[in-house]
Structures are given as structure tokens and as C-alpha cells.
């Protein structure tokens, strides 16, 4: 019998536990899932959200892995009590949702759709957009979500470059890395998409100096992590006309406070962290597969590199 602790807000249980049970049953894995634990040493796996009740993992001395329900693991990696293998959530539903958000908003800005959607008075001033092949898009972050988004944009014909800390090779995408690669990715980006993880190295990666490297009139789309951008520097770049627009789905504080200037800025679109979410049915299959792997002694999927922070 595999003993599993489900540590997440109460509202998660009804959505996630039934499909996880179904997925484990499909593998023939006898299991018991509990939401409270009286004997930590009996627990084989912990399925958890960063905002769940378990914050001290040290009593779970026999746990083979901690499986996160979230893609972002910045709240976990600095927890000294979490010494078990940490597995982040990557699944096809999450990837598809991110690709749809990114391509939708890149096309929106590429085609200049806001000028038509927000028209306040009759106006006939055609402005023909360039073709996608004439629009330079850069994607910062080439993990699972960034790679899929970059490939989708390249498939639509956009001139796509991607930047990552370590070198990557992706068909149809100009792959850049290192400090010089970052400067090149910024300097060419008429539309910039941020899909980096949040680490010590990436926090405020778009500061005033790097925002100034973007071409005049550039657009930023951030469905990655809020602290990737220096908020004040972004507002200043928009106010002086260097940047045309920013579409933001993630923020330092969520929900975004009602008095925050992002809500009221005419060149900022706020979306309420909807770019991609963990869909229980898809997540359940990934969780069950990793538990199957743990029981079979096979390598886990999506194991976090603690030194890199993701």
C-alpha cells in the first residue's frame, strides 16, 4: 500500500484527489491518499501546493518525493527541511494553455487589434501590419512552456529568437544564451515574451537598463513571474514612450491591489493570472506516472535542480 499525503488548501481536494486516485488505479498501484497525517514516517509521497499546510518536511523521513501541484517552485527551493526529490508540475494541459495565451496576445499586438477594439469614435485610418515573418519576437526562458510557445510562434511565421541560461537547440527558433545572447534577444525584440522561472538571478531581470535595450515601441508580454520586471522601471519606460504596451498576467502581489498603478495605466493590460493553470485531470496523470516511476526505481520526471532553482 502506497501512503500518500495530499497537502494543499481544502478547496483543492475535491478537484485533484479523485482524478489522482483514478490515474493511480489505472497503473494498478494500491494506495491510500490522506489529507492529514498522524505518522509522518509512513508517508511514501507528498503531493502539495506551496500554500498547503505542510511547511516542515523533515519528519517525512521515508518520503521518496515531494510532488508540486504548481509549475513554479520558488517557494519550495529555499526550504531547508525539504531534502526529498522535488518534482515540479509540467503537463500537456498547462503547456497548451500557455501556448494559447502567448500566441493570442502576440497576434493581438502584432495586428494592432487594440486600436479597433477600443475605438471611441468613428475613424477610418487603415494601418496595415507587417507579415509575421517581418515581426521579431523574443522569448526569454526556453523551458517546457517557453519552448512550446516559441515553436508555436515560429509555426505562425514569426521571426523568433529564444534565450535561456544554458544553450538550447530548437527547430525554427534562433537560440541564444549567456550575457551576450540576452543583450541580442532584447535588442531585436519588437515583442518580448517572459517565461523565465523566478530565481535570484532572474528577479528584476528587466530593470531600467535592460528595458532601455528594447527597440522603441516594443511590447512586453509577461505570463511568467511578476518579479521578473522592475515595476517602477516599466512604468517609467511606458510613460516616456519607449515602450508601446505591456500585457501582464503575473504580479509581485496577487490579487493585484486595486490601487496599483498597473490597473489604471492606458498602456498596460492586466489579466488575472489566467495564462495557464494546473488542470486536475492532466496533473493527475503526471503525478501518477511519477509515483509509478518511484515505485519501479525509475528516474522521476521534472525533478528540480536545487542549485539552479528550477
Say which residue the cell 490597473 belongs to.
Answer: 263
Report CA torsion sign: 103, 109, 110, 114.
positive
Q: Are 72 and 89 in contact (CB under 8 A)?
A: no
Q: Are 43 and 66 in contact (CB under 8 A)?
A: no
Say which residue the cell 523533515 belongs to.
Answer: 58
Check whether the bond before 255 is cis (ω within 30° of 0). yes
Dihedral (Cα; 49, 192, 96, 46), 10-degree rounding = -20
| C-alpha–C-alpha distance, residues 80 and 71, integer Å | 20
Supply the residues annotated as catalytic: 225, 273
DSSP-derived secondary structure letter, 253? S
Q: Roughly what angle, to the nearest 10 degrees, separates helices 280-296 and 10-26?
A: 50
| C-alpha–C-alpha distance, residues 285 and 276, integer Å | 17
List phi, psi (to 5°) of 159. Answer: -85, 95
211-221: buried (b, 16+ CB within 10 Å) or exposed (e) per residue? bebbbeebbbb
| C-alpha–C-alpha distance, residues 156 and 220, integer Å | 19
Cell of 51: 500554500
Amino acid at each position: 500500500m502506497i501512503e500518500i499525503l495530499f497537502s494543499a488548501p481544502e478547496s483543492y481536494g475535491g478537484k485533484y484527489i479523485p482524478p489522482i486516485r483514478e490515474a493511480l488505479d489505472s497503473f494498478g498501484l494500491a494506495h491510500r491518499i490522506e489529507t492529514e497525517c498522524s505518522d509522518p514516517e509512513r508517508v511514501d509521497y507528498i503531493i502539495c501546493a506551496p500554500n498547503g499546510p505542510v511547511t516542515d518536511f523533515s519528519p517525512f523521513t521515508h518520503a521518496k518525493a515531494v510532488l508540486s501541484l504548481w509549475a513554479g517552485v520558488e517557494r519550495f527551493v529555499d526550504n531547508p527541511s525539504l531534502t526529498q526529490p522535488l518534482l515540479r508540475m509540467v503537463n500537456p494541459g498547462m503547456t497548451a494553455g500557455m501556448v494559447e495565451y502567448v500566441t493570442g496576445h502576440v497576434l493581438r499586438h502584432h495586428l494592432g487589434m487594440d486600436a479597433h477594439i477600443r475605438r471611441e469614435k468613428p475613424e477610418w485610418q487603415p494601418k496595415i501590419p507587417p507579415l509575421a515573418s517581418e515581426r521579431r519576437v523574443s522569448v526569454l526562458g526556453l523551458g517546457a512552456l517557453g519552448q512550446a510557445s516559441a515553436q508555436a510562434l515560429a509555426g505562425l511565421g514569426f521571426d523568433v529568437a529564444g534565450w535561456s541560461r544554458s544553450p538550447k537547440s530548437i527547430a525554427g527558433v534562433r537560440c541564444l544564451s549567456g550575457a551576450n545572447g540576452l543583450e541580442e534577444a532584447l535588442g531585436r525584440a519588437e515583442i518580448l515574451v517572459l517565461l523565465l522561472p523566478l530565481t535570484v538571478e532572474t528577479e528584476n531581470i528587466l530593470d531600467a537598463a535592460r528595458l532601455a535595450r528594447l527597440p522603441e515601441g516594443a511590447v512586453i508580454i509577461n505570463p511568467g513571474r511578476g518579479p521578473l520586471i522592475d515595476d517602477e522601471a516599466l512604468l517609467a519606460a511606458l510613460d516616456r514612450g519607449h515602450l508601446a504596451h505591456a500585457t501582464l498576467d503575473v504580479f509581485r502581489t496577487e490579487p493585484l491591489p486595486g490601487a496599483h498603478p498597473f490597473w489604471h495605466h492606458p498602456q498596460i493590460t492586466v489579466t488575472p493570472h489566467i495564462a495557464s493553470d494546473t488542470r486536475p485531470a492532466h496533473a493527475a496523470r503526471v503525478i501518477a506516472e511519477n509515483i509509478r516511476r518511484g515505485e519501479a526505481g525509475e528516474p522521476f520526471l521534472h525533478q528540480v535542480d536545487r542549485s539552479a532553482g528550477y
